[in-house]
A and B are shown apart, each in its own frame.
Chain A
């Protein structure tokens, strides 16, 4: 059986990192720090590679005059502009903050507001198109949670707040805990498979 070097490196790295969580000591701490810094560098370079790939794709699109190449032109201009500002002035400079605060943030907030409107409209249409028990439950839950979250004019109804909190903290939390537990078990199983060499995601 031929054992690949990458598998050996992955198993040794994972084992050392796992032991570093449980065994205090200078050896594991030093090895762990070296590996973590190396991982951060690799991740940073990977991000740069991703940016370079994105730029290459859109430059090709502009060069070949494909449909939508005007958007690619705007993307390339924005990329180079922001890159230059951040590199020249730093990420926390006023210019950099202005770009984020006055351009990116309103755009994203507007999209979020549009999403809220679409969700509301979809909920109403669901009542018209599909009248089932699930639809009824969805309708009542949304109605009660919104009514319990919203402040009522001139009055305060602690009963509605308590009902909203119960819905959010009991049924929703129960489902959320199940999801989290499943994620944890899945992550544990995946880590063990990688440590034992059954899964080799680095080979893809």
Chain B
């Protein structure tokens, strides 16, 4: 469907639209409706044909060339002939009216018969309608005047005295269509549009004779005319008003020579003509003469204006190379978005007013302007095409923003290292507490009155050890824990030696063999019957951790000595060391729970019938106890810490007279020092807690006082 551009705003409109959707300018002539309403039979035939042939061009303009627009004398209706004859009879018509007006360009082409249509807006079909509806063109005689005009003339003849200037009185405009100004008011404005000089010359009234009779009657009488000698010529009168205006805008210097020459020629030619006589038509020079070099002004001989018209713009752009947007601009281009609201015109046309005086009318009001104040702009869907370089830049920016400032921060002044008064005081308190029992030779701390069940089970197992099979003593603790573990181990080993069971020692730690030798050496003083190779078998160090333990569980002798046979060892006992199942029991001295866990996993699973006893430190007790207290215990006995050692020593030999251990071991002398150290620790913690509470209370009170 071809679009029709609005002559006012230049925007495209649908072909069937009568008014512009944007500026509400009328696109179709009003005469069409009025003509159809008044009866199209009044239009002359040539005008009908002209309408048919001269339909609106797509651009809203009509072709200026072609003689079909010019009605011939034969085709002109009689009413036009009457107009011409009346104009002739009314007096000497000015040269610019009846005679072909002189072309301002000097070509002298007669432009009157063929009124060029303005380059926009009104089609040619309007002109007959104007002539038909304009009172100045239709009624040419008193008989044909309408009744209202006759009454107006009669009243003016009565009211106006002879020779007096009649008061200006204009008849009420009779508009063919309501709501629009009469077309005859449009005509002079349109004809005086720039670019149509012939129309200007033809339409400009040059004298009273050019106006119709009814108009002369209603118009005020002009003042007394100047003498004929001083009167300007007819052609100059046509430009009188124009000259007055142009003088204000242009000086004489700015008037081109050709125009001045043409004006002088016109004056020279028209001056001799007597007033009242029709001017003779001016001979039009041949076209070759007009187009000769030097005749035409430069601005006319210059090329066409570089600015293309709005109509021809689309056609000129066909041969141009398509513009290429830069990548960054193309990336920012919204891919999907509301480019245009489709159907807006249709919606406006289909809209029916429901209220007000326009109720029931369709498409009389323009669509509502979507001006929404106070609302957030809609979120337009847009898909941005993110280039890898853009993503890299965004990532770099994000990294820069998120990275903490790397500016060199002045290093805070290192606080002066506080003197270790606190640590020194605690150390002194602990040492003093431990020295008190040794210095005073007093024992104020009661021995454990209750022996733990696991300790009793350990003692029972030791008591039941067979004497023909060795007991395995695994010394797997570090030297740092030897103070605590040696006390418990010495109590158990002393019990074992008391029973007389052979002992084999092994260790998975490099220092374990030496610690085992130290342990046996300290116990052997009370049990000199234990001799290496007879009832004591130091197996030494077992490397490779869990792998070595697993190999030891499979064949202890092979894992430790291989094919080597130590000299002087008891053969019967040596043969018993070739199987871990021959051990009467396994006592693991461990300072860490993971060591005991390895023994349970690698050895106890291989020889589940061999009981395992754990002698551990107090720190390892929570993690070792689950192996003892489970439904299927892996440990059959436990001795925990110094308290367990003290209890085990008391089990070994209790003095019935004193109630104390009959044969005190290593744990008993340590018991008082241990008790004093623990009490000192408790007191330090208690004092520290109270001091912290007091300090907090003081600080809160100080803060409250400040507030």
Q: Are A139 and B626 closer than 8 Å at their CB atoms? A: no
Instruction: Given A40-B547, A91-B540, A173-B625, decide whether A146 and B681 contact each other with a Cβ distance below 8 A.
Output: yes
Q: Are A104 and B692 closer than 8 Å at their CB atoms? A: no
A142 (CB) vs chain B CBs: closest residue: B685
Q: Are A43 and B426 closer than 8 Å at their CB atoms? A: no
A36, A169, A175, most chain B CB atoms within 10 A: A36
Q: Are B511 and A149 closer than 8 Å at their CB atoms? A: no
Q: Are A151 and B689 closer than 8 Å at their CB atoms? A: no
CB distance from A12 to the nearest CB of B (A): 17
Q: Are B675 and A151 closer than 8 Å at their CB atoms? A: yes
Stretch at the interface among B227-235, B354-362, B496-504, B516-524: B516-524
Q: Are B430 and A180 closer than 8 Å at their CB atoms? A: no
Q: How large is the interface on A (under 10, 10 to 19, 20 to 34, 35 or more residues)?
A: 35 or more
- Please, which residues of chain B bring their CB within 8 A of the CB of A158? 449-450
User: Which secondary structure dominates where chain A touches chain B?
Assistant: helix
A167 (CB) vs chain B CBs: closest residue: B622
- Please, which residues of chain B bring their CB within 8 A of the CB of A175? 622
Stretch at the interface among B110-118, B253-261, B552-560, B581-589: B552-560
CB distance from B668 to the nearest CB of A (A): 12
Report the Cα distance A21→B422, complex, angstroms.
56
Q: Are B480 and A109 closer than 8 Å at their CB atoms? A: yes
Contact with B along A99-110 (1 / 0, CB 8 A): 111001101110
User: Which of B450, B605, B618 is within 8 Å of A21, CB to CB?
Assistant: B605
CB distance from B440 to the nearest CB of A (A): 12
- Please, which residues of chain B bring their CB within 8 A of the CB of A161? 450
Instruction: Given A149-B678, A151-B675, A153-B445, decide whether A125 and B543 contact each other with a Cβ distance below 8 A.
Output: no
Contact with A along B503-531 (1 / 0, CB 8 A): 00000000101111110010000000000
A-B CB proximity, top 10 nearest: A43-B544, A150-B678, A124-B688, A108-B480, A100-B514, A36-B551, A151-B445, A172-B622, A39-B547, A127-B692
CB distance from A15 to the nearest CB of B (A): 16
- Please, which residues of chain A bring their CB within 8 A of the CB of B446? 151-156
Contact with B along A32-68 (1 / 0, CB 8 A): 1100110110111001000000000000000000000
B423 CB within 8 Å of chain A: yes
B38 CB within 8 Å of chain A: no
B482, B514, B629, B695, most chain A CB atoms within 10 A: B514
Instruction: Given A97-B521, A120-B681, decide whether A156 and B643 contact each other with a Cβ distance below 8 A.
Output: no
A9 CB within 8 Å of chain B: no
A144 (CB) vs chain B CBs: closest residue: B682
A124 (CB) vs chain B CBs: closest residue: B688
A117 CB within 8 Å of chain B: yes
B671 CB within 8 Å of chain A: yes
Contact with A along B416-443 (1 / 0, CB 8 A): 0000001100110010000000000000
Q: Are B518 and A152 closer than 8 Å at their CB atoms? A: no
Q: Are A176 and B622 closer than 8 Å at their CB atoms? A: yes
- Please, which residues of chain B bring their CB within 8 A of the CB of A124? 422, 426, 684-685, 688-689
Q: Are B521 and A44 closer than 8 Å at their CB atoms? A: no
Q: Are B685 and A139 closer than 8 Å at their CB atoms? A: yes
Report the Cα distance A47→B510, complex, angstroms.
11
User: Which of A99, A117, A180 is within 8 Å of B514, CB to CB?
Assistant: A99
| Chain B interface, number of residues (Cβ within 8 angstroms) | 66
Q: Are A40 and B423 closer than 8 Å at their CB atoms? A: no
Instruction: Given A117-B423, A124-B422, decide whether A40 and B688 contact each other with a Cβ distance below 8 A.
Output: no
Instruction: Given A149-B618, A152-B445, A176-B622, decide whether A127 and B689 contact each other with a Cβ distance below 8 A.
Output: yes
Q: Are A146 and B514 closer than 8 Å at their CB atoms? A: no
B46 CB within 8 Å of chain A: no
Q: Are B685 and A143 closer than 8 Å at their CB atoms? A: yes
- Please, which residues of chain B bring their CB within 8 A of the CB of A44? 543-544
B280 CB within 8 Å of chain A: no
Binding site for A on B (CB under 8 A): 422-423, 426-427, 430, 444-450, 478-483, 511, 513-518, 521, 538, 540-541, 543-545, 547-548, 550-551, 554-555, 558-559, 597, 605, 618, 621-623, 625-626, 629, 643, 671, 674-675, 678-679, 681-682, 684-686, 688-689, 691-692, 695-696
Q: Are A146 and B518 closer than 8 Å at their CB atoms? A: no
Inter-chain contact count A-B, CB under 8 Å?
Answer: 181
User: Which of A37, A120, A155, A176 is within 8 Å of B685, CB to CB?
Assistant: A120
Q: Are A36 and B447 closer than 8 Å at their CB atoms? A: no
User: Which of A105, A131, A149, A173 is within 8 Å of B622, CB to CB?
Assistant: A173
A27 CB within 8 Å of chain B: no
Q: Are A150 and B679 closer than 8 Å at their CB atoms? A: yes
Q: Are A100 and B681 closer than 8 Å at their CB atoms? A: no
A to B CB contacts below 8 Å, 5 in the list: A92-B516, A104-B479, A108-B478, A112-B481, A156-B446
A44, A109, A179, most chain B CB atoms within 10 A: A109
Q: Are B422 and A121 closer than 8 Å at their CB atoms? A: yes
Report the Cα distance A103→B328, complex, angstroms.
77
- Please, which residues of chain B bring their CB within 8 A of the CB of A111? 480
Q: Are B517 and A92 closer than 8 Å at their CB atoms? A: yes
A116, A131, A150, most chain B CB atoms within 10 A: A150
CB distance from A53 to the nearest CB of B (A): 16
Q: Are A173 and B629 closer than 8 Å at their CB atoms? A: yes
14 additional A-B residue pairs with CB within 8 Å, beyond A21-B605, A117-B430: A36-B559, A40-B559, A42-B544, A43-B547, A97-B514, A97-B521, A108-B479, A120-B426, A120-B681, A139-B685, A139-B689, A149-B618, A152-B446, A156-B446
Q: Are B625 and A105 closer than 8 Å at their CB atoms? A: no
CB distance from A155 to the nearest CB of B (A): 7
- Please, which residues of chain B bring their CB within 8 A of the CB of A125? 422, 688
- Please, which residues of chain A bring their CB within 8 A of the CB of B681? 120, 146
CB distance from B654 to the nearest CB of A (A): 17
Q: Are B689 and A32 closer than 8 Å at their CB atoms? A: no
A93 (CB) vs chain B CBs: closest residue: B517
Within 8 A of B (CB), among A120-174: 120-121, 123-125, 127-128, 131, 139, 142-143, 146-147, 149-156, 158, 161, 168-169, 172-173
A189 CB within 8 Å of chain B: no
Q: Are A169 and B625 closer than 8 Å at their CB atoms? A: yes
Q: Are A109 and B514 closer than 8 Å at their CB atoms? A: no
Q: Are B688 and A127 closer than 8 Å at their CB atoms? A: yes
- Please, which residues of chain B bring their CB within 8 A of the CB of A169? 622, 625, 629
A11 CB within 8 Å of chain B: no
Instruction: Given A42-B544, A151-B446, A152-B446, decide whether A131 and B696 contact each other with a Cβ distance below 8 A.
Output: yes
Report the Cα distance A174→B422, complex, angstroms.
35
Report the Cα distance A40→B550, complex, angstroms.
10
Report the Cα distance A101→B555, complex, angstroms.
31
CB distance from B600 to the nearest CB of A (A): 11
B545, B548, B671, most chain A CB atoms within 10 A: B548
A18 CB within 8 Å of chain B: no
Instruction: Given A33-B551, A100-B518, A117-B430, decide whether A168 and B685 contact each other with a Cβ distance below 8 A.
Output: no
A118 CB within 8 Å of chain B: yes
A193 CB within 8 Å of chain B: no
Report the Cα distance A36→B552, complex, angstroms.
9
Report the Cα distance A180→B596, complex, angstroms.
12
Q: Are B547 and A100 closer than 8 Å at their CB atoms? A: no
CB distance from B605 to the nearest CB of A (A): 7
B624 (CB) vs chain A CBs: closest residue: A176
Q: Are A43 and B625 closer than 8 Å at their CB atoms? A: no
- Please, which residues of chain B bring their CB within 8 A of the CB of A127? 688-689, 691-692
Instruction: Given A120-B685, A147-B682, decide whether A176 and B626 contact each other with a Cβ distance below 8 A.
Output: yes
Q: Are B679 and A47 closer than 8 Å at their CB atoms? A: no
- Please, which residues of chain B bring their CB within 8 A of the CB of A109? 479-480, 482-483
- Please, which residues of chain A bring their CB within 8 A of the CB of B695? 128
A10 CB within 8 Å of chain B: no
Q: Are A123 and B685 closer than 8 Å at their CB atoms? A: yes
Q: Are B675 and A150 closer than 8 Å at their CB atoms? A: yes
A128 (CB) vs chain B CBs: closest residue: B692
Instruction: Given A29-B554, A36-B554, A108-B478, decide whether A154 and B444 contact each other with a Cβ distance below 8 A.
Output: yes
CB distance from A64 to the nearest CB of B (A): 29
CB distance from A52 to the nearest CB of B (A): 15
